[in-house]
Amino acid sequence: MKTGFTWHRVDAHRRAAERPHMAQPPLTRNIRALEEELGTQPFVRPTKGAELTEAGRALMEEVPNILALAWRAEEQAQLAGQGYLGRLDVGIFSSGILNVIPRLLAEFHTERPEVKIGLHNMSKAEQISALRERRITIGSNRLVPDEPDIAVEWVLREPFLIALYEGHRLCAKKAVTLRDLDNERMILYPNAPVHGLAQEVAAAFRAENLQLRVEQEVEDVVTCIALVASRSGICVTTESAVNLRLPGVVYRPLRSKQSREIELTCLYRRGDNSPVLQAFLNLVRKSRIHRVRARL
């Protein structure tokens, strides 16, 4: 059978043959074209009309099934082209799953349940590498460096907080300044070579000529807040950390000229026009607009 064979043409021939008043020359030409495509005779043509051969009967028995598959394939292609089918692989990091990202993914799943969502716990550097290698569709992180092939959009702006253990002297204050933290035992995260929250904290201390006393450096927010709960020190963190709800931890707003808010961003391959990615980005933008309006 030739690869150019069209099952819709078979159905057209079947329906045409069932119409008694169809002019014969067009029907004859169509039958000859079908014979050429099949390489066999589906019909024999006596003086009047046409009769199915064994090949023709076998062919016609399969036509309804094959047409149903063709129509389903067409429907699936349309859904995929609109972003309702496919896969969304998402790079996530520790504190990124404590706030808006899970809510966005849940809403996306509700709107597009046939899109499979894969979650991958990765550092910032790992996410950038995975995007370039097409192992993930989109990442989420903070303080993403400028890369020519990576696009970045902000998702959420969070205020900085101070996490204190119960009984710490600063718990008596409604808000904490960076100067209040001078020479306090601090826990920093993430302990990573790329620029991140730990480097932002260190830069803020330097800008105000304060002593940053680093007690511990850890890799993630969960470990950091757990150490605060164990009274090992205090830390600068973001609003998302409150959702951990670890006992023995008290949060206060941070007042600092250097550190006011920090952006949670999504990152993706520049020029990626995947319908699933574009649908998720549209959801991110819509959610961002709603939050901005709510703050006005």
Q: What is the mean pLDDT of the chain?
A: 86
- The predicted-structure confidence for 51-60, as pLDDT tens digits, reads as follows 778 777 777 7
- Higher pLDDT residue, 164 or 32? 164
Asked whether residue 9 carries a pLDDT value surpassing 60, the answer given is no
Predicted confidence at residue 250, as pLDDT, reads: 98
Confidence of residue 65 (pLDDT cuts 50, 70, 90): confident
CB 163 within 8 A of CB 240: no
Classify 6 as helix, strand or coil.
Answer: coil
- The predicted-structure confidence for 33-48, as pLDDT tens digits, reads as follows 766 777 777 777 666 6
Predicted confidence at residue 129, as pLDDT, reads: 97
| Domain annotation for the chain: domains and CATH numbers | 7-81 (1.10.10.10), 91-155+266-295 (3.40.190.10), 157-262 (3.40.190.10)
- The predicted-structure confidence for 247-261, as pLDDT tens digits, reads as follows 999 999 999 887 789
**Inter-axis angle of helices 7-17 and 24-38, nearest 10:** 150
Least confident of 107-111, 275-279, 288-292: 288-292
Number of CB atoms found within 10 A of residue 1's CB: 8
Give the mean model confidence (pLDDT) for residues 140-159: 94
- The predicted-structure confidence for 194-243, as pLDDT tens digits, reads as follows 889 999 999 999 999 999 999 999 999 999 999 999 999 999 999 999 99
- Higher pLDDT residue, 76 or 257? 257
CB 88 within 8 A of CB 276: yes
CB 259 within 8 A of CB 168: no
- Residue position matching structure tokens 């991958």: 120
Predicted confidence at residue 36, as pLDDT, reads: 74
Confidence of residue 24 (pLDDT cuts 50, 70, 90): low
ω into 190 cis (within 30 of 0):
yes
CB 265 within 8 A of CB 152: yes
Percent of the chain with pLDDT over 70: 85
Predicted confidence at residue 5, as pLDDT, reads: 47
